[in-house]
Amino acid sequence: MMRPVRAYYPILPVLIGYGILFGIGQMVPGKWQLISQLAFFCALGQAFNLFMGMTGYVDFGYVAFLGVGTYGMAVSIYYLFDKGLGLTMIVIGMILAAVFSTLLSLAVGAVALRLRGAYFAIATIGVNEGFRFLIEGARIWNGSDGMIFSRHMKTAFGRETAMALSMKWADVIVFGVAFLAAVMTLLYMRNKVGYALTALREDEDAAKVMGINVTRYKLIAFITSAILAGLLGASAWALKLTYVYPTDVFAIHYTVEAIIIVLLGGAGTLLGPIVGGLIYGVSKYYLAIVLPGFQLMIFAPIIIMIIVLFPEGTVGILKKRVFGTPLEKFII
Amino acid sequence: MIFEQLSGNLLQGLVLGSVYGMATMGLSLIFGVLQVVNVGHGAFIMVGAFTSLMMFQAAGVPPVLAIPVAFAIGMALGMLFYFGALKPLVSPSGSGIKSLDMRAVGMGAGILVALLVVMRFLSAAFKLHFAITLFVAIIFLYGFLLYIYGGRRQDKAPELATLLVTFSIGVILEESVKQLFTSEARGFNWAIGKLDLGVTVLPYTKLIASFGSLTIAVLLYLWFRKTRAGMAMRSVVEDDVGARVCGVNVDWQYALSFSLGIGLTVTSGVLLTMFIPVGINPYMGGPYTLKSFVIAVLGGLASPYGAFFGGLVFGLVENGSYTLFAQFQGLEPFAMTRFFSFVMLLVILLLRPTGLLKVK
Amino acid sequence: MSLLRVENVTKRFGGLVAVDDMSFEIRHGELMAIVGPNGAGKTTMFNLINGVFPADEGRIIFEDVDVTRYPAYKRAHLGIGRTFQIPRPFASATVRENIAIGGMFGAAGSEISVDRAMELADHYIDIIGLKEHRDKPAGGLTPVEKKLVEIARALAMKPRLLLMDEAMAGMNPKDIDEMVAFIREIRDTEGIAIVSMVEHIMRAVAGLAERVIVMHQGALLVDEPTQEALSDPRVIEVYLGQPPEEAHA
Amino acid sequence: MKKRGLILLVVPFLAIAFFVAPAHAVDSIVIGHPAALSGSYAKAGEQAVGGVQAAVDWVNSVYGGVNVGGKKVPLVYKYYDCESKKESVTSLLERLITTDKVTVTFAPYSSGLTLAGAPVAEKYGIVYMDHGGASDKIFTQGFEYVVQTIGPGSSYHVGTLEMVKKIAPDVKRVALAYEDSEFARSVMDGAEAKARELGFEVVFKRTYPMKVEDLTPLLSDLKASDPEIVIGGGHFQDGQLFNKQMADLDINVKLLSLIAAATLPAFGEALGDLAEGVMGPSHWEYGVTFSEEGAKAAGMTWIGPSQDEYVALFKKAVGKDMLPDYHAAEASAQVLALVLAVEKSDSVDSDVLRKTLGDLTFMSFYGGWDIDDTGKQIGHSMVNVQWQKGERKIIWPEDAQTAKPVFPKPDFE
């Protein structure tokens, strides 16, 4: 199955990119939160791209996977904090996050993956909203009261460790998830999964006739993407912020952010989400500082402009430019 | 007791449902013709609500008379956004350029800088916030680039581009209205009496809103069936390519149906203020967008009359299921009605993606 | 033993009977054509054979396996290949990748690695003569080139039965002759059965098929060797009473 | 390497942002605030920013600056927009702390966003003042630097129930209908407990989802339970809807009290006659009679502008003809608390400030201010307002009254 090492060169720019980002965060004091926010955007885009970019299916309710992931970690800490499990609790939380998002993705997959285009987008919005109202309506996990577990973490790990967990290690996990998402993307691209996904993205009926079990490959990409989102929610939202409210973790604007990031960078490319995440994160951050209260008004027309005039995204354009040069094998 | 409540709720649901149905017709029309899901739908409803509010507050015009004004505003906005943002993405004839080279980008950047400098002075002169003038500058730049280069039709995952564009249009509308009117929740009071039915009470304003929705739905139906323009548009819904072969200007039909859809949506905002004349604010549209999706699917997504029918069903189900869920301990019935409506959405998408009404 | 047996297959769309109680056989290594005017149910028949949708009634048996309820991809694994009337290569993938995808997932799918599939693709690129376009996206090719890529993609699946949907539609006479020769050559080198679907271009049928099935309004009209079928009065009747030779306008 | 080029483009940005930071010295007291100026909480965020700005202006121009280290130094207000999003709160808060070197930080509006920023403030050990997070749970989490000015949610409707108990002891049937949010729920739980304690009969208790568009089914249900008084609400939009649809359904009760919405000027403007007699609990209201004299009589420190001065300062600060509501007043009171704490301890050190704030008790136009050991506000009591002939009157507690309560409230026409 393994291809020559050369085929995996594009992971180098990814590694360099995240390495530089991580380095800045560690070396420049007082920028870690910004760096971790950027890493969150990159990871979000990377995980979303794994499904959306490769299959062409727009999951508008994608944030639900981050939501259940957040709940996975929250449930673990909230209910197990006094069992003396120590850091195993974090591991359990990550596993729960992965399990919850897998289960939800299987359920959504069974219903929605048969649908195409706009129908799929609407169905996934329906799953996201429906799930939130179920949590609120049936009072699951405290319903709309949510869970606040900063105290639980301090009780379980001690003040210093709890602080380090939410202010540092949660972000390190986000970096990990981002890199894992990139690795998975590249692995898929270079193996049968990727070719199957390319085929079904271009023409699903033709792909079926070519002997591709489209449901299976869609589901593989969907579940992978969902698990990554679940882990991201567990680290960036639960472990870092130590609280969860249903309205907050199922907010659709995170899906919109993911779409913007992927489009800015270039859908279906490996480097796109990183470039897109950086552009989006940095410009958002400085707009919030320079023009507080007006950034959405400035951002919205710029997004329209980019979609209409540069639909391939930054990396898409770059890819065309480096075609036939030695850089070709690094940029996909 | 329960039956009294249930019948009262169902009656209310029917009246509300007709307005919801009307509010979804525009969404369905746009999807039917352009295959675009308008994620900014709710923002246009908000524009309608503000139209109604402003006319009432400024001149005491009853909301019924605001309908033609709202419709005209909607048509105009529809044309603006179609030609400004959507046409390059969806137009069947494609448009303009093949690629945007670095020289062009550099030129654009130069113009932006020049505009910024001009705008900086203008904003000082007119005492406007710099961000507002920056916004205007970006729109100008965009218009310029679009005029020269045209943009490209999206072949891969076209939903992605159109979803994001319509979403951004919604954000632009919301933020502009926020700048104009602040994010305060507003309202007005147009009381013309009530009808007491025993099981429930219905103000006449609600009945007028419901009747108005029905009238507009019937008018739209007649327009589609009896006029040349309507039939041309219907032909595009049925068969895009076939219509073109038969000499229908599909490009123009796209523009027309988009602006007609927006016109209907803005109008429905006025009708909604007759139903609920309070809580009008720039961000009020969000929940209506989600509701409209469910309703549109109930009606078959691409069919405006189906949407009207879907609205009625939705109103009945949402209000009726409240009584049902209220019988269970430990549940929050109101949230459960929402849950139920989304479950209904999924079931219908699975079993009958063409909607409850048999369309084809 | 026949390669494919269609037994009393019927397919309805709403009230319309698109395929009405069809029965016929395809033999190993045979060149065959399904002929009929527009709306006769040819495309539906193709879709039923390769599983785009299931039959309402009847059975389809491929090499002794009852595939009636099999989804399309499983039938592809068994060895049923297919091309489309309007070529549908995967536009963003290169020519090489397109053909390799056929090899990766087709009949021999489970055993072939990505690298092996690429080698296979190179082999078929040589056959169709598009070597200079190897690493270009397939979306940018001419229609005839796309058609060739599609055929190569189907061949890379190593099918035993290849269904070709209107392979010659929209081509000029010279291209048609070349295509006919190419298809015969494939049959001879690969040893597979090829079923072509033909609507109008009767001049191609003679060269393309040893046997002809004529469909009319969803039902089987004749199933005869080519020369007899072309002069069959019932067939002429179907083409508006004109001799089929002149009906290709 | 175009990819590297992009990163190289980002690096100087970050570097500049870091190195351009001003040198630290006590020549000014800087307040850092990742405010919620857009997104879900834009309305409250706009008020809060205006409120802080107004108080800062007062301190600098009227009060003459903050007296620390033997000299008067100005207050500086630095705010960014977090878009009501939790990720932005953390990064902007850190920027305020490390790059802008602020003296204290203010939390954005809402309990959720306050919680999002708390770990960052704790990490840097900087005082984090909460003007819009009413959840009681924030103060059971063991945060050491979080200080609350807004009163806890559970106390919102307590005064209302006490008032009814006193002026109409025979009224028993109470209905609770709140928004299904963490804040409104804590109000509901507090109200329910108080109602049972005072011997009321809770005949109806339901919630409705956030951003609701139609309350008819819930209100029909409520009507059937035949309550005498109705308390509930959540935010601004749903409160207006609540009142309007009560009127539509002809549900006439002796008292209707709605949190948040009913206390704002926009409520009366939107509803007109329908608002007549409707009540709401509020942290602060225009017309509350807290004054320097009253503070002296009670033996408390007084600081800040008088109410009328404050309203004028606020309008100037926002640049619009907008009245401050309690979101603004809370934010302002927080600034005053800070000024007193700095002057009292003569220090800008976070730990000293936090300790001083813990011991601090004072009164301003906003009312009393005092926190317990966890940082929770306990010194501020709420007032109840009622719409009477198109104006908001303070009707409870009795010593703050600007008008007598109208009870029972008039029926809807």
Q: Give the residue extent of every domain in chain D.
A: 25-151+288-370, 155-282+383-400
Helices and strands (DSSP H and E) totals, chain C: 9, 10
| Contact of D243 with B36, CB cutoff 8 Å | no
Neighbours of chain C (3+ CB pairs under 8 A): A
For residues C113-124, average pLDDT = 87
Which amino acid does the sequence have at D396? W
For residue C189, what is the domain's CATH number?
3.40.50.300
| Contact of A304 with B40, CB cutoff 8 Å | no
Indicate if the pLDDT at residue A71 is higher than 80. yes
Q: CB distance from A318 to chain D under 8 Å?
A: yes
SS3 D208: strand
Domain presence at residue B123:
no
Q: CB distance from C121 to chain A under 8 Å?
A: no
- Say how many CA atoms lie within 13 Å of C160 toward its Cβ: 14
SS3 D31: strand
What is the model's pLDDT at position D2?
Answer: 43
Domain presence at residue B329:
yes
What is the model's pLDDT at position A172?
Answer: 94
Please indicate, yes or no, whether residues C163 and C227 belong to a single structural domain of this protein. yes
- Using the beta-carbon criterion (under 8 Å), do A198 and C84 form an inter-chain contact? no
Percent of chain C whose pLDDT exceeds 90: 13
What is the model's pLDDT at position D22?
Answer: 42
The total of structural domains in chain B comes to 1
Helical H runs in B127-247? 130-149, 158-181, 204-226, 228-238, 240-245
> What is the span of the domain harbouring residue B269?
2-84+183-351
> Which pLDDT band holds residue B158 (cuts at 50, 70, 90)?
low
Residue where a domain terminates, one of C158, C178, C207 = C158
What is the model's pLDDT at position D191?
Answer: 93
Which amino acid does the sequence have at D98? T
Domain presence at residue C85:
no
Chains C and D touch (3+ CB pairs under 8 A): no
What is the model's pLDDT at position A294?
Answer: 84
For residue B255, what is the domain's CATH number?
1.10.3470
Give the least confident one: A65-69, B48-52, B119-123, C206-210.
B119-123
- Using the beta-carbon criterion (under 8 Å), do A208 and C157 form an inter-chain contact? no
For residue A313, the distance in angstroms to the closest alpha carbon of chain B comes to 11
**Closest Cα partner for D313 from D45, D32, D46, D62?**
D62
C24 - beta bridge partners? C6
Please indicate, yes or no, whether residues C186 and C215 belong to a single structural domain of this protein. yes
Task: Tell me the chain C residues in contact with residue A191 when contact means C-beta distances shorter than 8 Å.
Answer: 114
D176 - beta bridge partners? D205, D231
For residues B113-124, average pLDDT = 76
| Contact of A238 with A284, CB cutoff 8 Å | no
Please indicate, yes or no, whether residues C125 and C190 belong to a single structural domain of this protein. no
Q: Which residues have CB under 8 Å from A161's CB, separation 6+? A: none
Q: In terms of pLDDT, which residue wins out, D173 or B129?
A: D173
User: In this predicted model, what pLDDT tens digit does every residue of A216-257 receive, in sequence order?
Assistant: 999 999 999 999 999 999 999 999 999 999 988 999 889 989
What is the model's pLDDT at position D23?
Answer: 41
Domain presence at residue B227:
yes
Q: CB distance from C114 to chain A under 8 Å?
A: yes
> Which pLDDT band holds residue B242 (cuts at 50, 70, 90)?
confident
For residues A24-28, average pLDDT = 89
Please indicate, yes or no, whether residues C170 and C229 belong to a single structural domain of this protein. yes
Residue where a domain terminates, one of C158, C180, C205 = C158
Q: CB distance from D252 to chain B under 8 Å?
A: no
CA separation for the pair D9, D5 (Å, rounded): 6
Indicate if the pLDDT at residue B22 is higher than 70. yes
Which amino acid does the sequence have at C182? F
**Closest Cα partner for D239 from D217, D223, D260?**
D260
What is the model's pLDDT at position D251?
Answer: 92
For residue C141, the distance in angstroms to the closest alpha carbon of chain A comes to 15
For residue A292, the distance in angstroms to the closest alpha carbon of chain D comes to 5
What is the model's pLDDT at position C246?
Answer: 47
Domain presence at residue B247:
yes
What is the model's pLDDT at position C110?
Answer: 61
| Partner residue opposite B139 with nearest CB, options A293, A301, A310 | A301
Domain presence at residue C142:
yes
Tokens, residue A71: 């709940």
What is the model's pLDDT at position C89?
Answer: 87
Domain presence at residue B300:
yes
Q: CB distance from A154 to chain D under 8 Å?
A: yes
For residue A16, the distance in angstroms to the closest alpha carbon of chain C comes to 28
Please indicate, yes or no, whether residues C100 and C191 belong to a single structural domain of this protein. no
Block residue for tokens 């395929």: C19
> What is the span of the domain harbouring residue C134?
90-158
CA separation for the pair B77, B260 (Å, rounded): 10
> Which pLDDT band holds residue B48 (cuts at 50, 70, 90)?
very high
Domain presence at residue B271:
yes
Instruction: Provide DSSP, D275-326.
Output: GTT-EEEES--TT----HHHHHHTT-EE-S--HHHHHHHHHHHHTSS----H
Domain spanning D25-151+288-370 has what CATH number?
3.40.50.2300
What is the model's pLDDT at position B101?
Answer: 64
**Count of CB atoms within 10 A of residue A193's CB?**
18
Task: Tell me the chain A residues in contact with residue D122 when contact means C-beta distances shorter than 8 Å.
Answer: 163
What is the model's pLDDT at position A273?
Answer: 93
SS3 D69: coil
For residue C205, the distance in angstroms to the closest alpha carbon of chain A comes to 25
The total of structural domains in chain C comes to 2
Block residue for tokens 């951004």: B168
| Contact of B251 with B91, CB cutoff 8 Å | yes
Please indicate, yes or no, whether residues C24 and C68 belong to a single structural domain of this protein. yes
- Using the beta-carbon criterion (under 8 Å), do A311 and B334 form an inter-chain contact? no
**Count of CB atoms within 10 A of residue A110's CB?**
12
- Using the beta-carbon criterion (under 8 Å), do A296 and B175 form an inter-chain contact? yes
User: Quick one: which H or E segment has residue B354?
Assistant: none
pTM summary value = 0.90
pLDDT, tens digit only, all 413 positions of chain D: 444 444 444 544 444 444 444 444 578 899 999 999 888 888 889 899 999 999 999 999 999 989 988 889 999 999 999 988 998 999 999 999 999 999 999 999 988 899 999 999 999 999 999 998 888 888 999 899 999 998 888 888 998 999 999 999 999 999 999 998 888 888 999 999 999 999 999 999 999 998 888 899 999 999 989 999 999 998 888 999 999 999 989 999 999 999 988 888 889 888 988 999 999 998 887 777 778 888 888 888 889 888 888 999 999 998 888 888 888 999 999 999 999 999 999 988 999 999 999 999 998 888 889 999 899 888 888 889 999 998 888 898 887 788 899 988 999 87
User: Quick one: which H or E segment has residue D258?
Assistant: strand D255-259
Interface of A with D in 234-293 (CB under 8 A): 236-237, 240-243, 245, 247-248, 253, 271, 275, 278, 282, 284-286, 288-289, 291-293
| Partner residue opposite A311 with nearest CB, options B31, B134, B152 | B152
The total of structural domains in chain A comes to 1
Domain presence at residue C84:
no
At the topology level, CATH places domain D155-282+383-400 in Rossmann fold (3.40.50)
Q: CB distance from B302 to chain A under 8 Å?
A: no
**Closest Cα partner for D277 from D121, D389, D150?**
D389
User: In this predicted model, what pLDDT tens digit does every residue of A81-129 receive, in sequence order?
Assistant: 888 888 899 999 999 999 999 999 999 888 888 888 888 888 999 999 9
Task: Tell me the chain B residues in contact with residue A114 when contact means C-beta distances shorter than 8 Å.
Answer: 350
For residue D206, the distance in angstroms to the closest alpha carbon of chain A comes to 11
Residue where a domain terminates, one of C158, C174, C195 = C158
- Residue A86 phi/psi, 5-degree rounding, is 65, -145
> Which pLDDT band holds residue A3 (cuts at 50, 70, 90)?
low
For residue A142, the distance in angstroms to the closest alpha carbon of chain D comes to 10
> What is the span of the domain harbouring residue A236?
5-330
What is the model's pLDDT at position A307?
Answer: 82
SS3 B274: helix
Q: CB distance from C182 to chain A under 8 Å?
A: no
Residue of chain B nearest A119, judged by CA positions: B349
For residues A202-228, average pLDDT = 91
For residue B53, the distance in angstroms to the closest alpha carbon of chain D comes to 10
Q: CB distance from A114 to chain C under 8 Å?
A: no
What is the model's pLDDT at position D189?
Answer: 92
Task: Tell me the chain D residues in contact with residue A278 when contact means C-beta distances shorter than 8 Å.
Answer: 6-7, 10
| Partner residue opposite B334 with nearest CB, options D42, D218, D244 | D218
Residue of chain D nearest B127, judged by CA positions: D319
Tokens, residue D197: 């304690």
What is the model's pLDDT at position A74?
Answer: 95
- Count of CB pairs separated by less than 8 Å, A with C: 80
- Using the beta-carbon criterion (under 8 Å), do A36 and D86 form an inter-chain contact? no
